[in-house]
Structure 1
Amino acid sequence: MLLTLVAHTQVISVFEASTEEPIPGVVLYNLKKDKSVITDINGKVSIDIFSANETIYFQNFLYNKLALKKSEIINRGNVVYLFFNIEGLNEVVVSASKFEQDKKDIPQRIVSVTARDIASVNPQTSADALAATGNIFVQKSQLGGGSPMIRGFSTNRLLIAVDGVRMNNAIFRGGNLQNVISIDPFSIQKAEVTLGSGSVVYGSDAIGGVMSFYTKKPQLSYKDELFLKTNAVLRYASANNENTAHADVNLGYKKWGFLTSISYTDFDDLRMGRHGPEDYLRNQFVQTENGVDVLVDNPDPLIQKPTGYNQLNLMQKVHYEPADNLKFDLGLHYSTTSEYGRYDRLIRPSSDGLRSAEWNYGPQKWFMSNLTVTKTSSNSSFYDKIQGTLAYQNFQESRIDRNFQSDVRRTRSETVDAFSFNLDLEKTLNPKSSLFYGIEYLFNYVGSSGVETDITTNQNSDALSRYPDGSTWQSMAAYTSYKYKPNDKFVFQSGIRYNHVIASADFTANNAFLNLPFNTSEINTGAFTGTAGIRWIPNDIIEWNFNASTAFRAPNIDDIGKVFDSEPGAVVIPNNKLDAEYAYGAELGLKLNFNNKLRLDLATYYTYLNDALIRRNSTLNGNSEILYDGELSTVQSIQNASEEYIYGFEVGAEINFSEDLKLRSQYNILGGVEEANGIEAPVRHIAPSFGRTHLIYNHKKFNFDAFAVYNNELAFEDLAPSEISKDYLYAIDRNGNPYSPSWYTLNFRVRYSLNSSFEINTSIENITDQRYRPYSSGISGAGRNLIISVKYSM
């Protein structure tokens, strides 16, 4: 009887602090890691293998690590509470230096999104997950898209990294791009978005910000027995008849861990809202009948035809820990879409009604394999932690278009093979200062082809390719960053990086069609960038942050070698005389915390961009217009032709009415001008002021979130010239000019955990069925949208 009672007292329960839900899969181990156990599906585990005064460590990647003596746990009634890893609870970030640091030690503003946040939002793509932060504006040209804008910058002036590997490649363009949707939101453990320059750590392109995605890692059992955990999700959304299925399986052993993830999504054509500008309606579309293109009336003008597509994402992770101070991580990622329509081009008008009979993106494919080795050392003079990452990526994309009633279909296909190597080191110099440093090498090879097909005879012929085939782009860099923290109230961080970029393009093949006055183009340029910032907490209420930085972007193959119709009646041709563009910026932040009841987060910033690479009118062999794809088009090229001045203000607020009820809000105000040849104009990627407000109730198994999303108007005089030329994307004001109207949506979502295995998440978005189109987007947002998802875990 006594033995039974003692054994019973050794079983403890581990709960999440905020919801009091049991947490399965928490690893408990001792300091030597020679003893370990894992909580079961009910959060229970026996700790009889640990001695009475032994310290037990609780670890799960979703929660803050905890260490308690066994005697303390018994005194607490055999119950342990873990806190979810969120801001305010000593959150750790990685993107600022490639190594873990307390978020409160970073002078720059970093927005964090956890796997739990993503699950609550239920985003269709990773772009939608970023938009849900309230700090990032997302543009879409089609349903299969999502081009983030951060502080007035976008596309190739923002950097995307996945597990520390740079996704930006040699053909990332200045026009809107959708590579971020290749990242499966179900696979993300955490995303960290650096608002502002990240060039010291990430090099070229990181002018406006860095989006760092960290995908889930396998969890080990730290013992000989297998730790098995599976998740399955089914989701449906009514606005585009989305059908999504996801599953992942974790196999954990003492030293080896394996994680397999698969997601498949099928979207139908997107329905827009019922109440809003009639300019957005899809009244007609092109249909081919008996080999002839005809305009047909859309039976339901709210349906944006064609926008549907499907997507498959696969991920395989392998984790190996042969010793406490040595880890190996292998990641394999694959994403592919079906062919899908570029909606903004398919609604482009012409004298015959619509210009294009076909305008599709071919399947967007992305593959990445990366191997990371991490080693810690307590006696090395050069590092406490060293991390090496070797990666290979393959990108494939294509564009297929055919003019209305034309027999010629054009197909332009691109591939990029991207190789990278990073070596990053961290060294604690003394209790008050740390050093981070590293080197990087990147190499990109670009393949590009053009084909014209006569659809009546199926005969193919060579055509002008989008890029010079066989182009190369490479980058070499070294950086160092220093942190000085004399006490808990003050932190100083600074860094410097040298980056050298070499690019080469040969236009001989394309000159058979284009007749450029040159056959080659070379880029050979280097740049120093730096940053310095402080964080100062004079008391429990106030926190000041200040950061100043420089950044740059070297021309890539898209800049020096692209041939493409960038906008109606214009064609971009290569330019062999380009230099890097440079940015100089500063930001000032203030956080106020009134007893955790009211929190305010304020920031203002300013960025000056010099020698900005932008499209400008040009000539080819003395001609300002050429015939391109059957249309007389104005000649343009990318040029170092302007200066940009961008500024903004951000304010976030959180009111905690109680433990369960809180109000959160985020609002962003942006402005900026572009100056070229003494003429000022609005900057293209300056979004209108935008924000979100959430009223959240969270109690144990139940979570309720009522929220509003809103955007201000962008008047005609505030549109960039390149946007005015695409007037068919916009509503028309009372003077007959294009503009982007203000809009809002009202929404709510409910999440309920039936038990430790089943969770239901239901949302109704755009309750009032507003018809709206985010600034610069070619597709209208979803109308009233019912989303239902069910998650099963075991």
Structure 2
Amino acid sequence: MRLFLTIGLWLCIVIPAQAQEIKVLESESRLPVPGVTIYNQTKTIMVITDFEGMASLNSFTDSEYLYFEDLLHKKLKIKKETIIANNHTVLLEAKIEGLDEIVISASKFEQNKRDIPQKIIGISAKEIQISNPQTSADLLESSGNVYIQKSQLGGGSPMIRGFSTNRLLLTVDGVRMNNAIFRSGNLQNVISIDPFTIQNTEITLGAGSVVYGSDAIGGVMSFYTKKPQVSYSDKLYLKANAVARYATANKEKTGHLDFNFGLKKWALLTSVSYSDFDDLRMGSHGPNDYLRPEYVVTNNGQDQIVSNDNPKLQVPTGYDQINLMQKVRFEPQENLSFDLGVTYTKTSDYPRYDRLIRYRGDDLRSAEWYYGPQQWFMGNLQMTKISSSSNLYDKIQTTLAYQNFKESRNDRDYRDVMKSMTEEAVDAVSFNADFEKLLSPKTELFYGVEYVYNKVKSIGKELNIETNETAPIVSRYPNGSTWQSMAAYTNIKFKPNHKFILQSGLRYNYILMHADFTENNQFLNLPFTETDLNFGALTGSAGISWLANDILQWRFNLSTAFRAPNIDDIGKVFDSEPGSVVVPNPDLKAEYAYGGELGLTLNFDDMVIFDVATYYTYLDQALVRRDYTLNGETEIMYNGELSNVQAIQNASDAKIYGFEAGVRLNLTNHLKLTSQYNVTGGKEEDADGSEVPARHVSPNFGNTHFIWQKNKFLVDAFAEYNSELSFYQLAPSEQEKDYMYALDDNGNPYAPSWYTLNLRTQYQITKAATLTASLENITDQRYKTYSSGIASPGRNLIISLSYSL
């Protein structure tokens, strides 16, 4: 009897206590929401949901109102007794408008998006999971504001507002990825970033030189990888995710696995991803010019051209890639944290498809043209400290990083026994110290310093495939070159009231470069042996954000930006196009951009949201490739071919302008429509002084999505579309690449318009398992994105299964 009384008493105590446990979920996805602050009206009691969205309400009385608040969801006010009656569950509604979003890239510290005078596009981890991109280039393309060019399957070169490659900046966890050999031609480095490790991506449209320095002329693409989560208790916090994916167009086979181990003050995050891609199949309906009727095979050292049994199969394009990441987080105090991150990615050899489809007469020009493994290693240590007593800062963040980049190029002409091979490596060290200080309730100061050091290793050799003998040849870059940048910046935000925000900043950069051409002079006979370039660059910006009322917001921004010449500009030797060779030029200066942007957002009660922007940029002293003389000669022998001499020069200017429009219609609680359209134009000065189309101005492009979501099911039916660029709208350098384009009725190359219809679905099978399936390019269109050597995928079924615990 005593035993039953004891059990009964225990149940009377424990059951009510357990009844105070609640779970906070997102209303649409039904996923747990961690980090939600729960407080009462007087804010005398406050609790926070854990990583499973759980919290205890024991400290609150049943009759009082509770408030639920975090950055990504609408604030909720509800009585505690109502929560208990609703099965101990609270549903939070995601914030619809992007203006409520918190962004980091504008100042390297958290700011409300509505305070920023520039347009910034955010892509969350949830959106990445739904879009299910094969590479980070595909992830950027899904934003609807970034145009992606591809020379081969293992690639993806972004274009933003008429600029691309080394006039755009890539950062990962605040560390600049651009290095001394980032080129003006198409860049593939973005594919080294693993989409599975990204927590969120921020795309700044327009100049970002004040905070980020050189190269940030057209925009900044900031990738923030996931951070290890500590448990904040003596209990181990363990979380794991596994993903398997298959795609039919290139027979993609991808696997991903990550683990998070969290202790009270320590946490570790380990991530591994591997992808294998076969040759890519193009669509069935479109220009026959894109078909691959034949290709070269080599058997026993003998080249021969064979017919392609399936001309829609782009042979060869396949490759594989592995991505590894290890992170460690240490929080010794609430106001102090250390984050160590180590990332390594490596591809296999991958063919440069656009070079393999060129002809010389009736035969294909190249027997081999492939990149060697693209490798990227980054180790970075970040310290973040918050202080309430310092006169210098309220928050400081320092980042020390080391990166190593490796790449190589290998090419051999059809039935030639000599293969040309170049190998490049860059060691990059950087240090950043960034500070945030609240000067008054209305004024906030951001400032910082930066140092970057790059050293380039470059070798060239040729291989006789019959004898296996090698001999040195001219290297792509002067071996041992160095590039340094030292900078200081300041940015101030003045907010006299909640409707008006002014932000203004200045940055000063000092650049130092050294290149020694002694090794290459035995092949080129340059009129100089070394060069040293030292110069300063000052940039600034000023902008306002004005919330006239609950419906209307204006953004206006003026900025200057610059790009300093790098080792690629002053020292590169390569065949830019058939019959031409680029040689070093030691007399270069920085190019400057001057631009303005005007944006307008209209929000009608979160039901209809319009976002439009127009912009103009003038690029002065633009670094472009032009005809050149070497020792008084306009032609030299290069790789056995008499070639026209060219060099990078400050020999042009450009005017870029455009218009962007986006709309979001929340038709019902479960159905919404989103659409984005981009119009870009631009002219640059040609060698004869005339104006010609700018090279990296993309065609008008956009997308439209109908998205239906209820409980565990999501359906996204969407279209992507792209306007035509006629022969006369192509830049002169593109007009010469007839092997890449369709031909019009006059036999001239042009970029046809195209569209695709697509369907994407996601279903949460269980709390742990989610199935994502997409059918892309349903009508099997055959098309190329502008300036791409490879045709885009035809009809493509993508199946992905993810499991979390």
What range is the shorter-chain TM-score in?
Answer: over 0.9
Matches of 2:141 and 2:637, distance apart in 1: 40
The residue aligned with 1:100 is 110
The residue aligned with 2:781 is 770
Matches of 1:514 and 1:760, distance apart in 2: 58
The residue aligned with 2:737 is 726
> Residues 294-341 of structure 1: CA distance to partner in whole angstroms, max 9, x if unpaired?
111111000000000000001111111111110111111111000000
Please tell me whether the aligned partners of residues 26 and 33 of structure 2 are also in contact (alpha carbons under 8 angstroms): no
Matches of 2:155 and 2:79, distance apart in 1: 51
Please tell me whether the aligned partners of residues 99 and 112 of structure 2 are also in contact (alpha carbons under 8 angstroms): no
The residue aligned with 2:50 is 38
- Give the counterpart of 2:584 among 574, 579, 590: 574
The residue aligned with 1:498 is 508
Residues 717 and 25 (structure 1), Cα distance of their counterparts in 2 relative to 1, 3 Å cut? same
- 1:303 counterpart = 2:352: no
C-alpha deviation, 1:89, in angstroms: 6.8
Normalising by the residue count of structure 2, what TM-score does the alignment of the two structures yield? 0.95
The residue aligned with 2:133 is 123
Residues 50 and 421 (structure 1), Cα distance of their counterparts in 2 relative to 1, 3 Å cut? farther
The residue aligned with 2:6 is none
- Give the counterpart of 1:400 among 398, 405, 410: 410
- 1:375 counterpart = 2:385: yes
The residue aligned with 2:32 is 23
C-alpha deviation, 1:96, in angstroms: 0.2
Letter in 2 for 1:648: G
Structure 2: state its 5+ residue gaps. Answer: 1-10
Please tell me whether the aligned partners of residues 37 and 70 of structure 2 are also in contact (alpha carbons under 8 angstroms): no
Q: Secondary structure at the match of 1:781?
A: coil
Question: Identity percentage over the alignment?
Answer: 61
> Residues 530-557 of structure 1: CA distance to partner in whole angstroms, max 9, x if unpaired?
0000011111221111000000001000
Residues 335 and 759 (structure 1), Cα distance of their counterparts in 2 relative to 1, 3 Å cut? same
Residues 372 and 85 (structure 1), Cα distance of their counterparts in 2 relative to 1, 3 Å cut? farther
The residue aligned with 2:792 is 781
Matches of 2:235 and 2:48, distance apart in 1: 10
> Residues 533-588 of structure 1: CA distance to partner in whole angstroms, max 9, x if unpaired?
00111112211110000000010000000000111221100001100000000010
Q: Residues 131-280 of structure 1: matches in 2 within 5 Å?
A: 131-280=141-290
Matches of 2:77 and 2:548, distance apart in 1: 30
Please tell me whether the aligned partners of residues 197 and 207 of structure 1 are also in contact (alpha carbons under 8 angstroms): yes
C-alpha deviation, 1:87, in angstroms: 4.1
Matches of 2:79 and 2:235, distance apart in 1: 24
Q: Secondary structure at the match of 1:688?
A: coil
Letter in 2 for 1:790: L
C-alpha deviation, 1:55, in angstroms: 12
303-312 vs 60-69, which moves further: 60-69
Letter in 1 for 2:737: K
> Residues 378-423 of structure 1: CA distance to partner in whole angstroms, max 9, x if unpaired?
1111110011100000000000111110111111000000000000
Please tell me whether the aligned partners of residues 283 and 782 of structure 2 are also in contact (alpha carbons under 8 angstroms): yes
The residue aligned with 2:8 is none
Residues 179 and 522 (structure 1), Cα distance of their counterparts in 2 relative to 1, 3 Å cut? same
C-alpha deviation, 1:37, in angstroms: 7.0
Letter in 2 for 1:541: I
Please tell me whether the aligned partners of residues 33 and 222 of structure 1 are also in contact (alpha carbons under 8 angstroms): no
Structure 1: state its 5+ residue gaps. Answer: none
Please tell me whether the aligned partners of residues 703 and 719 of structure 2 are also in contact (alpha carbons under 8 angstroms): yes
Letter in 2 for 1:711: N
Q: Secondary structure at the match of 1:717?
A: helix
Q: Secondary structure at the match of 2:633?
A: coil
Please tell me whether the aligned partners of residues 37 and 221 of structure 1 are also in contact (alpha carbons under 8 angstroms): no
281-290 vs 389-398, which moves further: 281-290
Please tell me whether the aligned partners of residues 27 and 39 of structure 1 are also in contact (alpha carbons under 8 angstroms): no
Normalising by the residue count of structure 1, what TM-score does the alignment of the two structures yield? 0.96
Question: CA RMSD, aligned part only?
Answer: 2.3
C-alpha deviation, 1:451, in angstroms: 1.1
- 1:792 counterpart = 2:800: no
The residue aligned with 2:653 is 643
C-alpha deviation, 1:463, in angstroms: 1.0
Q: Residues 482-497 of structure 1: matches in 2 within 5 Å?
A: 482-497=492-507
28-37 vs 490-499, which moves further: 28-37
Q: Secondary structure at the match of 1:474?
A: strand
Letter in 2 for 1:38: D
Q: Secondary structure at the match of 1:279?
A: helix
Q: Secondary structure at the match of 1:729?
A: coil
- Give the counterpart of 2:769 among 758, 764, 783: 758
Please tell me whether the aligned partners of residues 18 and 700 of structure 1 are also in contact (alpha carbons under 8 angstroms): yes
The residue aligned with 1:697 is 708
- Give the counterpart of 2:530 among 517, 520, 526: 520
- 1:9 counterpart = 2:19: yes
Please tell me whether the aligned partners of residues 356 and 364 of structure 2 are also in contact (alpha carbons under 8 angstroms): yes
Matches of 1:675 and 1:165, distance apart in 2: 34
The residue aligned with 1:745 is 756
C-alpha deviation, 1:22, in angstroms: 4.0
Matches of 1:305 and 1:564, distance apart in 2: 25
- 1:736 counterpart = 2:747: yes
316-325 vs 624-633, which moves further: 624-633
- Give the counterpart of 2:601 among 572, 591, 596: 591
- 1:666 counterpart = 2:676: yes
Q: Secondary structure at the match of 1:116?
A: helix
C-alpha deviation, 1:82, in angstroms: 3.8
> Residues 67-109 of structure 1: CA distance to partner in whole angstroms, max 9, x if unpaired?
9998896687632334547644721000000000000100000
The residue aligned with 2:5 is none
Residues 75 and 498 (structure 1), Cα distance of their counterparts in 2 relative to 1, 3 Å cut? farther
The residue aligned with 1:434 is 444
The residue aligned with 1:559 is 569
Q: Secondary structure at the match of 1:769?
A: coil
Count of equivalent residues:
791
> Residues 660-718 of structure 1: CA distance to partner in whole angstroms, max 9, x if unpaired?
11111000001110114421111000001000010111111111000000000000001
Matches of 2:342 and 2:719, distance apart in 1: 38
C-alpha deviation, 1:598, in angstroms: 1.3
Q: Secondary structure at the match of 2:210?
A: helix
Matches of 1:524 and 1:733, distance apart in 2: 48
